[in-house]
């Protein structure tokens, strides 16, 4: 049976992914800080499905605990699917954010998924198969809608996913970036935001079910609330058109300073 490791598994998106993957027959490694909730979820999944469930209690902002999860990704039985879901928001704007809290957010939202992907990929590449799901956010594409460093961390997740896909896709590894919009999870309360003031809130079950449809279709980027795939395709075409100028050895004409001839 395939093995999936899910971070941030004790609640929200991570818990729903765990339930859906168990229903698909995956053995699971569940990672989170909350011992009570994680053990309760593990017991629920063992009772509902004929799968094995490991529990790893870890704070991914702590280097030693993060390494314990990395060690599991490098060990047997091999992990076939990594779901990089753990993440947090941060109250306030970039200007007002506490630097210590900002550093912790960067460790969780950027450092941890990067190092876990690195730990997982070595074995996946050696086996010629495997998958990584990176949970980002639509604010990666619209940072002006969500002030602060959070949007930048989610833009990193999108770029990391696209870069990994280009690098290891030809080696048999599938990488999916999932970009949720507003989703009913605990991240809002933890960030000090009133969830009732946010329109268009998607339910977590709907978000994960849609993301798994994208996973089965092997989409590179899945944005569940966007109605038409053509919208993303147009965005990508515009990006590629922009990139066509990156190889020019001289500045574009619009940046050249025209000097009047000397009299």
CATH value at residue 140:
3.40.50.720
The total of structural domains in the chain comes to: 1
**pLDDT higher for 121 or 199?**
121
- Does residue 136 fall inside a structural domain? yes
Residue 263 lies in a domain: no
What domain range includes position 226? 3-255
> What does the pLDDT read at residue 54?
98
Residue 44 within any structural domain of the chain: yes
pLDDT of amino acid 189: 65
Determine, yes or no, domain membership for 12. Answer: yes
Write down the pLDDT at residue 188. Answer: 58
Q: 119 pLDDT band (50/70/90 cuts)?
A: very high
User: For residue range 125-173, what is the model confidence (pLDDT) as tens digits?
Assistant: 999 999 999 999 999 999 998 888 999 999 999 999 999 999 999 999 9
Q: What is the pLDDT of residues 186-210, one digit of tens each?
A: 665 665 666 676 667 789 999 999 9
Confidence at residue 145, expressed as pLDDT on a 0 to 100 scale: 84
Q: What is the mean pLDDT of residues 217-245?
A: 96
Q: Quote the pLDDT of residue 187.
A: 66
Q: What digits encode the pLDDT tens for the residues 66-107?
A: 999 999 999 999 999 999 999 998 877 889 899 999 999 999
Catalogue the active-site residues. Answer: 150
What per-residue confidence (pLDDT) applies to 91?
77
Residue 202: predicted pLDDT = 87
List strands edge to edge, sheet with 81-84: 53-57, 27-32, 3-7, 81-84, 130-135, 173-178, 221-222
Domain assignment present for residue 260? The answer is no
């Amino acid at each position: 049976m395939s093995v999936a490791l899910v971070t941030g598994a004790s609640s929200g998106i991570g818990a729903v992914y765990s339930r859906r993957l168990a229903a698909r027959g995956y053995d699971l490694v569940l990672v989170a800080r909350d011992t009570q909730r994680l053990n309760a979820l593990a017991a629920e999944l063992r009772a509902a499905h004929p799968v094995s469930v490991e529990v790893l209690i870890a704070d991914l902002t702590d280097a030693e605990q993060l390494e314990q999860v990395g060690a599991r990704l490098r060990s047997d039985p091999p992990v076939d699917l990594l779901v990089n879901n753990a993440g947090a928001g941060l109250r306030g704007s970039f200007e007002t954010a506490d630097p210590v809290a900002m550093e912790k957010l960067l460790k969780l939202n950027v450092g941890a998924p990067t190092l876990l992907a690195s730990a997982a990929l070595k074995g996946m590449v050696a086996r010629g198969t495997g998958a990584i799901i990176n949970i980002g956010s639509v604010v990666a594409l619209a940072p002006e809608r969500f002030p602060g460093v959070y949007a930048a961390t989610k833009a990193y997740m999108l770029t990391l996913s696209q870069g990994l896909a280009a690098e290891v896709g030809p080696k048999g590894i599938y990488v999916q970036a999932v970009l949720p919009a507003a989703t009913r999870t605990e991240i809002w309360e933890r960030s000090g935001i009133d969830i009732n003031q946010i329109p268009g809130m998607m339910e977590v079950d709907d978000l994960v079910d849609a993301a798994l449809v994208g996973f089965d279709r092997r989409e590179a980027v899945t944005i569940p609330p966007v109605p038409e795939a053509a919208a993303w395709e147009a965005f990508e075409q515009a990006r590629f058109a922009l990139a066509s100028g990156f190889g020019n050895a001289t500045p574009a004409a619009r940046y050249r300073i025209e000097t009047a001839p000397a009299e």
